[in-house]
Structure 1
Amino acid sequence: MSHLKFNPRTLILLLMILAITAFRLLVTFNSDELKFANFSSIGAVALFGGAYFKDHLKAFAFPILSLFLSDFILSITIFSKYSSGFLYEGWYWTYIAFALMVLVGRVLLKKVNVVNLLASTLVIVLIHWIVSDIGVWFKNPAYTQDLAGFWACLVKAIPFEIRFLEGTVIYGALLFGAFEILKAKYPVLKLQTQKL
Structure 2
Amino acid sequence: MSLKNLNPRLGVLLLFILAAGILRVLGEGHITPLSNITPIGAMALFGGAYFNNKWKAYLFPLLTLFLSDVIIQRVFYPEFAQGGLLYQGWAWTYLGFAAMVLSGQLIIKKVHIGNIVMASVAAAVAHWLITDFGVWLGGCTDPTTGQLYPKDLAGLLKCYAMAVPYMKYMFFGNVFYGAIFFGAFELIQRRYQSLSANNYQLPNAQR
Q: Report the TM-score when normalising by structure 2.
A: 0.87
* Identity percentage of aligned residues: 41
Cα separation, 2, equivalents of 1:83 and 1:102? 26
Q: Which residue of 1 aligns with 2:144?
A: none
CA shift, 1:3, in A, is: 9.1
Q: Which residue of 2 aligns with 1:118?
A: 117
Which runs of 5 or more structure 2 residues have no equivalent in the other structure?
142-147
Deviations 1:159-186 (A, max 9, x none): 1111111111111111000000001100
CA shift, 1:134, in A, is: 1.7
Cα separation, 2, equivalents of 1:17 and 1:75? 20
Q: Which residue of 2 aligns with 1:65?
A: 63
Q: Which residue of 1 aligns with 2:145?
A: none
Q: Which residue of 2 aligns with 1:6?
A: 6
Among 176, 197, 201, which residue is 1:193 paired with?
201
Cα separation, 1, equivalents of 2:72 and 2:3? 43
| Runs of 4+, deviation exceeding 4 Å | 1-4
Q: Is the 8 A contact 2:29 2:35 kept in 1?
A: no
Q: Is the 8 A contact 1:36 1:163 kept in 2?
A: no
Deviations 1:126-165 (A, max 9, x none): 0011001122111315200111111111111111111111
CA shift, 1:44, in A, is: 0.4
**What are the within-5 Å matches in structure 2 for residues 137-176 of structure 1?**
137-140=136-139, 142-176=148-182
Give the aligned residue type for 1:95.
Y
Q: 1:31 to 1:5 in 2, by over 3 A?
A: closer
Deviations 1:16-73 (A, max 9, x none): 11012211111111269xx934x21110000000000001111110000010011111
Q: Is the 8 A contact 1:40 1:167 kept in 2?
A: yes
Q: Which has the bigger relative contact order, CA under 8 A and spacing at least 6?
A: 1
Q: Is the 8 A contact 2:89 2:138 kept in 1?
A: no
Q: Is the 8 A contact 1:46 1:99 kept in 2?
A: yes
Q: Which residue of 2 aligns with 1:108?
A: 107
Q: RMSD across aligned C-alpha pairs, in angstroms?
A: 1.9
2:83 pairs with 1:96: no
CA shift, 1:193, in A, is: 1.3
Q: Is the 8 A contact 1:139 1:145 kept in 2?
A: no
Bigger mean CA offset, 43-52 vs 23-32: 23-32
**What are the within-5 Å matches in structure 2 for residues 9-28 of structure 1?**
9-28=9-28
**What are the within-5 Å matches in structure 2 for residues 80-91 of structure 1?**
80-84=78-82, 85-91=84-90
CA shift, 1:94, in A, is: 0.6
Cα separation, 2, equivalents of 1:13 and 1:99? 18
